[in-house]
Amino acid sequence: MILLNKDEWEIAAWLAALAALAATAAWLVFRRRPSAEEVERARRLFLVQSGRIVDGMLLDIYDIAAEDGRTLTMLLFNYRIAGVDYECSQDITSIRSVVDTAQVRAGFPCSVRYQPGNPQNSIVVAEGWTGLREGLPQLQSFDDADTLDMSHLERKKNREQGREGATGQEGGAPWAN
């Protein structure tokens, strides 16, 4: 088909634009939309890759009934950025393999990843990262005092006794007589 007339060119251009518009509309209607779980996984991945880390505090871990009958496990935490306190919760139902809910205790410190431009977008746990601490640091306790190295105290005591013997005064210098 050879188009010789200006009107024929305009009609062909309009038909091509209409076909492109129809194809775009069909793609928008029939495309596969990501599920809520896929959107949440992408959000966690984004925060793990580009989020900043701040100290926070675990407030609670609790179960809540969802509208569809499932039981959701929620992690409640808070943190402070630039003087603003944020209190957020994270659904950790799908990543229970990363979190041992029996070990999570309210009041424990944690690390929170947040989006710098949107600080309320935050997580404590993701597939490849966790902000939960293993536990509070434990100081070593000694049952037997002999296992402690006290030699530095004995050397100090001997030095002080040596000065005392040389001056006849306790703690004085030899030239201070």
Domains detected in the chain: 36-123 (2.40.50)
pTM: predicted TM-score of the whole model, two decimal places? 0.61
Average pLDDT for the chain: 82
Kindly list the distances between the CA atom of residue 163 and the CA atoms of 68, 129, 167, 169, 177, in Å, as whole numbers in the listed order. 83, 59, 6, 8, 12
Alpha helices in the chain (DSSP H): 6-30, 36-50, 151-167
Using a pLDDT cut of 70, give the percent of the chain over it: 79
Least confident of 5-9, 143-147, 148-152: 143-147
> Which pLDDT does position 128 carry in this prediction?
84
Strand order in the sheet with 84-91: 84-91, 71-81, 52-65, 109-115, 118-123
Distance, CA of 174 to CA of 177 (rounded, Å): 7
Task: Quote the tokens at residue 108.
Answer: 């424990």
Phi/psi zone of residue 71: left (φ > 0), alpha (ψ -120 to 50 degrees), beta? beta
Residues in CB range of 3: below 8 A, 6 or more apart: 9, 12
> Which pLDDT does position 148 carry in this prediction?
61
